[in-house]
């Protein structure tokens, strides 16, 4: 029966209705973006035992941010050399 008190409060204080609407919109947006990042981004992981180093599988030419402007990637020669030495 606590829900009726909430609606009675909204009837008395109508200025709270837009505030509650904006807060519900923000909470829905934050939840949906969290689920989107969790399911689609390769650098967000839940199970570290299955893939302990997820950054090794990332494609450096593909942008990983939500919005990327003028991304230009060039491999660093020293890092590529170290990577090839440690893999062998």
Residues 6+ apart with CB under 8 A from 58: 42, 43, 64
Say what the pLDDT of residue 65 is. Answer: 67
Say what the pLDDT of residue 68 is. Answer: 67
Q: How many domains does the chain have?
A: 1
Of 25, 44, 42, which is closest to residue 34 (Cα–Cα)? Answer: 44
Say what the pLDDT of residue 32 is. Answer: 96
Could you give the CA distance from residue 7 to residue 16 in angstroms, rounded to a whole number?
11
Question: Which residues form the domain of 66?
Answer: 2-87
Top-confidence residue, 60 or 15: 15
Give pLDDT tens digits for 7-52: 898 889 999 999 999 999 999 999 999 898 888 877 677 776 776 6
pTM value?
Answer: 0.52
């Amino acid at each position: 029966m606590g829900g009726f008190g909430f609606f009675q409060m909204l009837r008395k204080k109508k200025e709270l209705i837009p505030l509650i609407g904006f807060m519900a919109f923000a909470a829905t947006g934050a939840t949906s973006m969290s689920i989107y990042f969790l399911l689609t981004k390769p650098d967000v992981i839940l199970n570290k035992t299955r893939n302990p180093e997820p950054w090794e599988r990332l494609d450096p030419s593909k942008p990983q941010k939500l919005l990327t402007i003028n991304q230009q990637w060039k491999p660093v020669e020293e890092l590529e050399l170290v990577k090839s030495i440690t893999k062998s």
